Amino acid sequence: MIEFSAAEIARITGGRLVGDPQTIPTHVTTDSREAREGSLYVAKPGERTDGHSFVGAAFAAGAVLALSEREVTDDAGIPFPAVVVTDAVLAMGALAKEAVRRIREARAARGQAFTVVGITGSAGKTTTKDLVAGIFRSTPDGSAGEAATISPQGSYNGEVGVPLTVFTADESTRYLVIEMGATGIGHIRYLADIVVPDIGVVLVVGSAHAGEFGGVENIAIAKGELVEALAPEGTAVLNFDDPRVRAMEARTSARKSFFTVHPETAEEAAGRGTLVAAVDSHTDAEGRPVFGLSIGGDAPVPVHSRLIGAHHVGNLLGAAAAAHAAGVPTEAIAESLSAQGAASRWRMERTDRPDGVTVINDAYNANPESMRAALQTLAALGPGRRTWAVLGAMLELGDESIAAHTAVGTLVVRLNIDRLVVVGREARPLYISAINEGSWGDECSFVEDIDEAYALLESELEPGDLVLVKSSNGVGLRHLGDRIAWAAQAQPTDTARTELM
């Protein structure tokens, strides 16, 4: 990380220093269990616990300074060394912003490039983030040293996760890839102000978090804040196939790069920016995307992805467009995309059990768009196998929740999924709609909780069955997916990790 003395941290955050001004932390964490020698422990209030309660534990583990909203004393009544601020999370952001500024300044002084890529969208952020980082790490300057390419762990994409990602970068960092999530207007603008992206990728505007935003149009306003933050010499990477995303070209003065799964749109996009297209896109027998990658009208270069599902073509193209904007050659991009599986858990994560049951655990997140894509993939992989859709609630949809769940239940039946198991009261409209559409008896089951779902599956699964487990993260079906996947003492396979957002 970029090193700051305690006195500098106090100055940057507007805080009050308690302790030695010369103390220099070498690591930042918000979890006292992850504190180690030299840590700056950020004591932030949480929904369930208050980080101030764990300051002592952090220092016992080696922390040398706290960033806190009040003084905390040890058993002897002596205050722990700290920078006391009004808001610990905003202070993290201020410190991360200064870290990015120092990295950019130091590398520029040495004549070295530094590229920040911001990625947002209602679906696909984590997949695309992992793909972009993977491409960069396959280039000479992106693989030179541990910190040459920095990207978030999992889905670190908010006002805490983005600064924590920045704090793992230093002056040797060539590429900084940032995932940006939001639950309201202004959130992405705040994150963009911290990292100052050179390239901004907007994947799709969907209905995830529609209840919190107050509607899909507000989601589009929020996601477009990323391209508004770009300088004229930056690049906005936009999904040409999503009208709301395509319209964002009017909100930025940056160069434009569009990606599309419909290469026939090239004429419409002509003169508006670089077009990144998938030519002859299809899926192989394992459901993996195959297409020719064409950039700027050049001859297509083959890509054979290791991800599962045709919906991933958009994520692959978004990653390709970002890498191309950063100067990576098309051939190198295609080679990396073909080599990469998924790097983050619970996103179309496939486990083939020894007894012949296949479990696809996609229960990290869910919204109508990703639910539809996952079910379509299940149906595509299903011929010759009995298919199971084990579905929980899609959260944060607001007034659209009942209609959205009803539509999913109808889709399950129309896709001829063999068995549907609906878990939890919040998802019950999905079950009712499936029955109304014509699925009844053994075809459709409703259970109250994860334990009941597990008991049903364990008693009825047979060799050769294909099981999709999907819900919003807060429902917790990812843990059910793990239990089912490992019930027969399965061992991970090369195809065990693929991702869908």
φ/ψ of residue 234, rounded to 5: -80, -175
For residues 368 and 448, state if they share a domain.
Answer: yes
For residues 188 and 117, state if they share a domain.
Answer: yes
Indicate whether 496 belongs to any domain. Answer: no
Distance CA 338, CA 332 (A): 10
**Tell me, what's the pLDDT at 492?**
44
**pLDDT band per the 50, 70, 90 thresholds, residue 208:** low
**Based on the number of CB atoms within 10 Å of its own CB, is 278 exposed (0-12), middle (13-18) or buried (19 or more)?**
buried
**Tell me, what's the pLDDT at 466?**
97
Enter the tokens of residue 448.
């109250």
**Tell me, what's the pLDDT at 496?**
39
pLDDT at 427 over 70: yes
pLDDT tens across 399-409, in order?
889 999 999 99
**Tell me, what's the pLDDT at 342?**
74
**pLDDT band per the 50, 70, 90 thresholds, residue 439:** confident
Residue closest to 466 by CA, chosen among 354, 390, 387: 387
The secondary structure of residue 45, as a DSSP letter, is: B
Number of domains the chain contains: 3
Sign of CA dihedral 452, 454, 455, 457: positive
pLDDT tens across 40-75, in order?
999 998 878 899 999 999 999 999 999 999 999 999
| Least confidently predicted of 65-69, 138-142, 302-306, 435-439 | 435-439
**Tell me, what's the pLDDT at 493?**
41
pLDDT at 161 over 50: yes
Enter the tokens of residue 35.
């504190």
* Percent of the chain whose pLDDT exceeds 70: 96
For residues 66 and 158, state if they share a domain.
Answer: no
**pLDDT band per the 50, 70, 90 thresholds, residue 212:** low
For residues 128 and 205, state if they share a domain.
Answer: yes
- Can you say whether residue 489 is alpha, beta or left, with left for phi > 0 and alpha for psi between -120 and 50 degrees? left
For residues 43 and 120, state if they share a domain.
Answer: no
- Residue 119 sits in a domain whose CATH number is 3.40.1190.10
For residues 358 and 314, state if they share a domain.
Answer: no
Residue 137's CB is within 10 A of a number of other CB atoms, namely 18
Distance CA 235, CA 257 (A): 7
* Percent of the chain whose pLDDT exceeds 90: 81
**Tell me, what's the pLDDT at 137?**
97
φ/ψ of residue 259, rounded to 5: -125, 150
- Between the alpha carbon of residue 214 and those of residues 178, 248, 366, 400, the distances in Å are 25, 19, 18, 10
The average pLDDT across 317-346 equals 94
pLDDT at 494 over 70: no
For residues 271 and 122, state if they share a domain.
Answer: yes
pTM of the full structure: 0.88
φ/ψ of residue 458, rounded to 5: -65, -30
Task: Answer yes or no: are the C-beta atoms of 32 and 58 closer than 8 Å.
Answer: yes
For residues 407 and 435, state if they share a domain.
Answer: yes
End-to-end alpha carbon distance in the chain: 30
Nearest 10 degrees: CA dihedral of 72, 73, 74, 79?
A: 110
Indicate whether 369 belongs to any domain. Answer: yes
Helices (H), 28-87: 55-60
Enter the tokens of residue 133.
């980082």
**Tell me, what's the pLDDT at 209?**
59
Give me the domain span that covers residue 116.
Answer: 96-339
The average pLDDT across 417-446 equals 92
pLDDT at 77 over 70: yes
**Which amino acid, 352?**
D
- Can you say whether residue 280 is alpha, beta or left, with left for phi > 0 and alpha for psi between -120 and 50 degrees? left
Q: What is the mean pLDDT of the chain?
A: 93
Q: Compare 349 and 133 and report the one with higher pLDDT.
A: 133
Helices (H), 41-87: 55-60
